[in-house]
Structure 1
C-alpha cells in the first residue's frame, strides 16, 4: 500500500516562508493552502502553482511511502 502525505509545512519552514506568503506568491487563498497541508484537499492547479512558486516538482510536495 502506498501512503502519500503533503510535506508543505517542512518545505515552507526550510525556506522561511509562511502559508500567507505562499498565498501571495501563488494567488491561492491561504485557507486552501492550509487544507492542502492538512491533506484535506488537493486541487490540480494549486499543486502546480505551489510547486512552481517553490521551484520544485509536484512530486516533491509529498512524502511517498510504499
Structure 2
C-alpha cells in the first residue's frame, strides 16, 4: 500500500468524493487526485491537514501495517 492508496481508502471510508474532501480540507481536488495517483507526495502542511481531518496523528497517517521496514 502506498500513501496515495491510504488517502484514497480513508476518503472512501468516510464516503467522500475528492471534491468534497477538497472543500473540507482546503486542498485542491486536483492535488488530492495527484496524491491518490501517487503522482507526488503531500508536503508537511497538507499531511497535517489530512491527518487532522481524518482524526489521526502524522505517524498513523504515514504508517502502514504491512511495512516490513518498521
Structure 1-normalised TM-score?
Answer: 0.76
1:22 aligns with 2:21: yes
Greater share of residues in strand: 1
**Residues 5 and 62, structure 1, Cα contact 8 Å, conserved in 2:** no
Partners of 1:51 and 1:15 lie apart in 2 by: 14
Deviations 1:19-52 (A, max 9, x none): 1111111111011111111222221111110111
> What residue ranges of structure 2 are gaps of 5+ in the alignment?
none
Question: Cα RMSD over matched residues?
Answer: 1.8
Of residues 40-49 and 53-62 in structure 1, the stretch that sits farther from structure 2 once superposed is 53-62
* Cα distance between partner residues in 1 of 2:18 and 2:58: 17
Which one scores higher on RCO, CA 8 angstroms, separation ≥ 6? 1
Q: Which residue number corresponds to residue 60 of structure 1?
A: 60
Aligned residues: 63
Unmatched runs of 5 consecutive residues or more in structure 1: none
TM-score, scaled relative to structure 2: 0.73
